[in-house]
Amino acid sequence: MYRLTLLLFSLLWTGQMIFGQTQTEEDALFIKSIYDQTLQEGECYHWLEYLTSKIGGRLAGSPASMASVSYTKQVMDTLNLSKTWLQACEVPHWNRGIPEEVRIVNSSQYGSQTLNALALGNSIGTGNLGLTAEVVEVQSLDEVKALGRKVEGKIVFYNRPMDPTQIRTFNAYGGAVDQRVWGAAQAAEFGAVAVLVRSMTTRLDDYPHTGTLVYKDGIKKIPALAISTNDAELLSRLLKKEAVQVYIRNTSEMLSPKMSYNVIGEIKGSEFPDEIILVGGHLDAWDVGEGAHDDGSGCVQSLQVLKTLNDLGYRPKRTIRCVMFMNEENGLGGATAYAEISNKNKEFHLAAIESDAGGFSPRGFSCDADVSVFNEKFKNFYSFLPLLEPYGLLLTKGGAGADINPLKSQKGLLIGLRPDSQRYFDYHHTTIDTFEAVNKRELELGAAAMTSIVYLIDQYGL
């Protein structure tokens, strides 16, 4: 109560009483009740435990992904919502195959040295016999282009680290991930037989990070695998001393597409039911871990938003909709289907909020919108800041989320939850992205932050 009194005094003193004194007091009190309810009675951590520990990796098209659809639909059905449903979407079905094998075969210092590796998502396999070739280290796609046919018959090793000087690690990821996504296609264009990629993390460790790649039509597909950062350092050191040959074996394959589902539930608005405020995350996760931070956390936080509002007896003016998107990791099948159906039904998403940056302590929200409406909507969005600052939250311009980005044409505001990013890429797309890696209180604080911003947008619009 002491903190709340200070907040109200601060709002009055600084002239930021944008809604009037009485209304601001009511808003501050309700946001406090959101945090109290979530931190004392929240269920999101228990839901995450089942989704990760019992179901595990949930790559689109897999039996586990269908189990996650069934489970989250059951959870929604317990939340006393106006409506819940499954929305069909076609998704790719990629199978990793047997455990990958990557081995240096001719080092004068180490002899035969096994490297920690994971096939990249959508990669083809080498076949049962594997392949052996000399390795060429590069730092960029442009360097491969410059080398041209000098990489023919060789394994191209992309070894550009994420930039450690970037304070927000997502910026570092964005500056390095092109070699993972497009590296195989670029190397194949000049005759390479396979690709190794340094894992996308700032940490030096022995855990390889998978992630999707994209092939180009008309260019031969070649196998692509990520190796751990420690092994990338080792391989680079050896290449400075001598020619190195590496043996690669993986049996990954792309199978026929499958039908899967987005899971959707909503509380119908009492005054403006045609204005939708969406909260969501992506239900699929890479097969190698449990998908706890990426993105089980975002899914259960979104479910918690609906539960908390209902538990507090809150009746929204606008429709609050929760969406568990399928197939963010290697295709965006769920996001594409959702936007197409929404546009066909002439829906309007006043705001769409995605949590897909881990279950760490929330630091605020970033937002994006169609350029024609962005400045006005951001100005109105930013007016909520005085009520959120006491909880350590900032409001900034920036990216929102891959699953909600297709809704930009509706000219609402797209919002991304921004947790602390320093440890996210320690776990991203690895075997250690497990339930134990998520802190209960941090997860719940993120859910409370999301619920608070939903409440304010519902009360005042944009």
Give the pTM: 0.94
Q: Is the predicted pLDDT of residue 241 greater than 70, yes or no?
A: yes
Query: Is residue 15 exposed (0-12), middle (13-18) or buried (19+ Cβ within 10 Å)?
Result: exposed
| In the chain, where the domains are located | 2-93+256-460, 97-251
CA-closest candidate to residue 406, choices 347, 322, 318: 347
Over range 364-384, report the average pLDDT.
96
Q: How confident is the model at residue 21 (pLDDT cuts 50, 70, 90)?
A: low
- Per-residue model confidence (pLDDT) at position 19: 55
Distance of CA 429 to the CA centre of its chain: 10
The reported pLDDT for the residue numbered 77 is 98
Kindly state the average pLDDT of the residues 329-336: 97
Average pLDDT, stretch 147-167?
Answer: 98
CA distances from 237 to 107, 290, 364 (A): 11, 33, 41
pLDDT tens per residue across span 425-454: 999 999 999 999 999 999 999 999 999 999
22 confidence band (pLDDT: 50, 70, 90): low
Is the confidence at residue 16, as pLDDT, over 60?
A: no
Domains 2-93+256-460 and 97-251 share a fold: no
Query: pLDDT value at position 133?
Result: 98
Band (6; pLDDT cuts 50, 70, 90): very low
Q: So what's the pLDDT on residue 107?
A: 74
User: What mean pLDDT is predicted for residues 356-377?
Assistant: 97
- What average pLDDT does this structure show over 301-319? 98
Contact between 188 and 220 (Cβ < 8 Å): yes
Residue 393 makes CB contacts below 8 A (sequence gap 6+) with 362, 363, 364, 365, 385, 449
What is the per-residue pLDDT for 280? 98
Position 157: which residue type? F
Give 187-231 pLDDT, tens digit per residue.
Answer: 999 999 999 999 999 999 999 999 999 999 999 999 999 999 999
- Which residue matches tokens 């947008």? 457
How confident is the model at residue 110, as a pLDDT?
Answer: 73
Asked if the model's pLDDT at residue 385 lies above 80, the reply is yes
Question: What are 264-300's pLDDT values in tens digits?
Answer: 999 999 999 999 999 999 999 999 999 999 999 999 9
> What average pLDDT is seen over the chain?
95
Phi-psi region of 423 (alpha: psi -120 to 50; beta: other; left: phi over 0): alpha
Give the pLDDT confidence score for residue 20 in this predicted structure: 59
CATH class of 97-251: alpha beta
For residue 295, give the DSSP letter: I
pLDDT band for 5, please (50, 70, 90 cuts).
very low
What end-to-end distance do the CA atoms of the chain give, in Å? 29
Mean pLDDT in residue range 114-138:
98
**pLDDT computed for residue 111 by the predictor:** 75
Give residue 112's pLDDT band: very low, low, confident or very high (50, 70, 90).
Answer: confident
- Is 18 a residue whose pLDDT tops 80? no
The answer for residues whose C-beta is within 8 angstroms of residue 150's C-beta and 6 or more apart is 136, 190
The CATH superfamily holding the domain 2-93+256-460 is: Zn peptidases (3.40.630.10)
The pLDDT score that the predictor gives to residue 109 is 76
Residue 350 reports pLDDT greater than 70:
yes
Contact 59, 260 (CB under 8 A): no
